């Protein structure tokens, strides 16, 4: 019989100890370290220590919003799946993703835009005071920036972490340069759904007393 660590809580504590040295000397608060650590934990990639970029107020803004029951609007189902909905529910928040809804497919076709754009556009005013979490589609992130600039929509936090080689890095630079609200992103090509979800979960775990249940399956 193979011998290996079977306790998720123990695995996570050990992981965080291994990750910590990569974040030393970076002038981060303990809360920011929790966010950065979880992106490294989710990717298995210590380079995230250098790639994560946040506005100065982002972590505080996210914590404050979640504490007050903010909802989370995602670009794709994988981000929704990755967010710990039990922890979020304890704070009164919900996660939404409508990219697969038939009416969004119709709107996208009618307007000649991607479903990711159509989904964010359809949320519109609902994003005010809530959190946006984007882990896949540069087009969704651009649309949220357009909603901010042209329609004066104001999420409290944009977690914008699309992944890939065409448009993703550019969309994240646009976020850094143009976001009129707090943001968390990852510079360059890397990113993706589990990274976006990990940022939200890091914030949640700073607020919610995690039970053994939550430790066993942090992504459920």
Q: Taking CB under 8 A as the criterion, which residues in 114-133 touch a second copy?
A: 114-117
Helix (H, G, I), strand (E, B) or coil at 14: helix
What is the Cα–Cα distance from 85 to 104, expressed in whole angstroms?
Answer: 24
What is the Cα–Cα distance from 50 to 81, expressed in whole angstroms?
Answer: 26
What is the Cα–Cα distance from 21 to 101, expressed in whole angstroms?
Answer: 44
Q: Is 172 in the site for a second copy (CB under 8 A)?
A: no
- Both ends of the chain: CA-CA distance in Å? 29
Task: Choose among 19, 9, 59, 14: nearest CA to 41.
Answer: 19
Q: Give the x-and-dash track for 86-115 against a second copy (CB under 8 A).
A: -------------xx----x--x----xxx
The correct pick among 76, 88, 140, 203 for binding a second copy (CB under 8 A) is 76
Of 129 and 188, CB closest to a second copy: 188
The correct pick among 43, 84, 98, 185 for binding a second copy (CB under 8 A) is 43
CB-based contacts of 48: which residues, under 8 Å, 6+ apart? 36, 39, 40, 186, 190, 195
Q: Is 167 in the site for a second copy (CB under 8 A)?
A: yes
Q: Is 173 in the site for a second copy (CB under 8 A)?
A: no
Number of residues counted as binding a second copy (CB under 8 A):
58
Q: Report whether 117 contacts 134 (CB < 8 A).
A: no
Q: Is 174 in the site for a second copy (CB under 8 A)?
A: yes
What is the Cα–Cα distance from 20 to 66, expressed in whole angstroms?
Answer: 25
What is the Cα–Cα distance from 49 to 18, expressed in whole angstroms?
Answer: 13
Whether 41 sits among the annotated catalytic residues: the reply is: yes
Nearest-approach distance from CB 191 to a second copy, in angstroms: 6
Q: Taking CB under 8 A as the criterion, which residues in 6-35 touch a second copy?
A: 6-8, 11, 14-15, 18-19
Helix (H, G, I), strand (E, B) or coil at 152: coil
Q: Is 53 in the site for a second copy (CB under 8 A)?
A: no
* Residue ranges in contact with a second copy by CB under 8 A: 1-2, 4-8, 11, 14-15, 18-19, 41-45, 76-78, 81-82, 99-100, 105, 108, 113-117, 136, 138-139, 142, 145-146, 163-168, 170-171, 174, 188-194, 213, 216-217, 219-220
Which residues are designated catalytic?
41
């Amino acid at each position: 019989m193979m011998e290996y660590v079977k306790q998720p809580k123990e695995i996570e504590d050990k992981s965080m100890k291994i990750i910590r040295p990569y974040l030393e000397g970076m002038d981060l608060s303990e809360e920011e370290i929790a966010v950065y650590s979880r992106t490294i934990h989710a990717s298995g990639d210590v380079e995230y220590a250098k790639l994560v970029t946040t506005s100065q107020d982002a972590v505080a803004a996210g914590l404050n919003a979640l504490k007050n029951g903010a909802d989370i609007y995602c670009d794709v189902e994988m981000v929704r799946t990755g967010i710990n909905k039990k922890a979020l529910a304890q704070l009164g928040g919900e996660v939404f993703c409508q990219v697969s809804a038939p009416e969004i497919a119709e709107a996208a076709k009618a307007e000649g835009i991607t479903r990711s754009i159509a989904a964010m556009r359809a949320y519109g005013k609902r994003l005010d005071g809530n959190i946006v979490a984007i882990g896949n589609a540069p087009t969704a992130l651009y649309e949220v920036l357009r909603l901010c600039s042209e329609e004066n929509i104001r999420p409290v936090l944009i977690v914008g972490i699309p992944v890939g080689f065409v448009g993703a890095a550019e969309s994240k630079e646009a976020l850094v340069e143009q976001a009129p609200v707090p943001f968390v992103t990852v510079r360059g090509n890397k990113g993706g759904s589990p990274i976006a979800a990990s940022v939200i979960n890091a914030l949640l775990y700073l607020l919610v007393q995690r039970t053994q249940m939550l430790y066993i399956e942090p992504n459920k």
